[in-house]
A and B are shown apart, each in its own frame.
Chain A
Amino acid sequence: MDLSKSPLLSGLANRLQFLAARTSVISENIANADTPGYVARDLGPADFDARIAGALKVSDPRHLQPGGRAGAASAPHLAPDGEASLSGNQVSIETQMMKLSESRMGYSLASSVYRKSVELMRMAVRGGR
């Protein structure tokens, strides 16, 4: 039995992967909160238009298709927090901390759901006991 074939589990695993990648981007922003000229970055879910454009570009069957993973991590994009300091730094620690707790909550939700579904499977294996 391949657990990664289950759409629920692989979806959750992708979600966890995306949130972990986003957390590392947010940590970069917080670490660079006082670096002159640094602009905050963020990781958004792969946007639909970009994916369509990528899919349409395939002119040869041997071209690799962009993976159809749910919430696959795209490259980080610039997301200035609106306030720029005199040094040209555009990171607001408050906003970053908010984003960080947002992704932590999402992460613990996804990991609990993962755990519960594994538990369900385990229950089925044990015959309902």
Chain B
Amino acid sequence: MDDLNTALSISASGMRAQSGRIRIVAENIANANSTPVAPGLEPYRRQVPVFSSFLDKDVDATLVRLSRVELDPTAFTVRHDPAHPAADAEGNVLVANVNPLIEMMDLREAQRSYEANLGALDQVRSMAASTLRILE
């Protein structure tokens, strides 16, 4: 039963990491059209979640966590919009370097991984239930 409890906390860590990733992807999608408030400033920069595995001594297993969130160094999109308050002398506005298609793919991948963890959790739970049925 100890191993099963460990498996439960491992799956929980996977779900926690994936939901953190979904939160960051949601932030990116929400800011896909963000522009700076004044010329010369930077718009929203896309965030990239980075996972890492670590040994949790408490449960004695390799868990996963969202270790850090990095900023995407790619160039900002330039849009020609002279009427915009943040437009420079040529009438160009910098827009966040977020590609909604890539974000949707990332979201789908996170969802798939989350479901896999949920499936693992469900299977472990049914194993624990079958152990408890021995007592009946």
Interface residues of A (CB under 8 A from B): 16-17, 19-21, 23-24, 26-28, 30-36, 38, 93, 96-97, 100-101, 104, 107-108, 111-112, 114-115, 118
Contacts and interface: CB of A to CB of B under 8 A. Distances in A.
20 contacts: A16-B131, A20-B1, A23-B3, A23-B7, A23-B124, A24-B10, A30-B120, A31-B10, A32-B14, A32-B51, A32-B53, A32-B64, A34-B17, A93-B112, A97-B116, A100-B119, A100-B123, A107-B127, A115-B133, A115-B136
Contact of A104 (B21, B51, B116, B123): B123
Interface in B90-136: 109-110, 112-113, 116-117, 119-120, 123-124, 126-127, 130-131, 133-134, 136
B51 A24 contact: no
Given A16-B131, A23-B124, A96 B116 contact: yes
What is the interface of chain A mostly: helix, strand, loop, or mixed?
Answer: helix
Given A20-B1, A20-B3, A24-B4, A31 B127 contact: no
Which of B7, B61, B131 is the most central at the interface, judged by chain A CB atoms within 10 Å of its CB? B7
A25 to B, nearest CB: 8
What is the interface of chain B mostly: helix, strand, loop, or mixed?
Answer: helix
Contacts of A36: 50-52
Interface of B: 1-4, 6-8, 10-11, 13-14, 17-18, 21, 50-53, 61-64, 109-110, 112-113, 116-117, 119-120, 123-124, 126-127, 130-131, 133-134, 136
A71 to B, nearest CB: 14
A33 to B, nearest CB: 5
B4 A23 contact: yes
A78 B31 CA distance: 41
Nearest to A106: B127
A103 to B, nearest CB: 8
Nearest to B21: A34
Contact of A35 (B4, B11, B51, B116): B51
